Amino acid sequence: MSDLEPIEYETGTAIRDYDIIQITPTESGYEVLLDVNLDSGYALARTKLEITHEDLQGYETNDIEEGIKYALGFFS
């Protein structure tokens, strides 16, 4: 496999919805395994999201599922 250089984009497609597969506590917070459906029609299967305890404090919640929602941009 070749080394790929990161490409920076200003914007991307929105997340349509997501399914939480597994939430695993870690020393610094949580590791979350997700399936993510994008508005573009593509999907990201078994995507890993790491959320720290500090992230949850910033979202003003202790509920990891609420933190996942905020981390993915779903604000009410």
Q: Which of 73, 23, 70, 26 is nearest to 52 (CA)?
A: 26
More confident residue, 23 or 6: 23
CA distance 23 to 48: 10
Q: What's this model's pTM, rounded to 2 decimal places?
A: 0.83
CA distance 32 to 24: 6
Phi and psi at residue 29, to the nearest 5°: 165, -115
pLDDT tens, residue by residue, 14-52: 999 999 999 999 999 999 999 999 999 999 999 999 999
Distances (CA, A) of 16 to 19, 63, 69: 11, 22, 12
CA distance 50 to 68: 9
Query: Is pLDDT of 58 > 80?
Result: yes
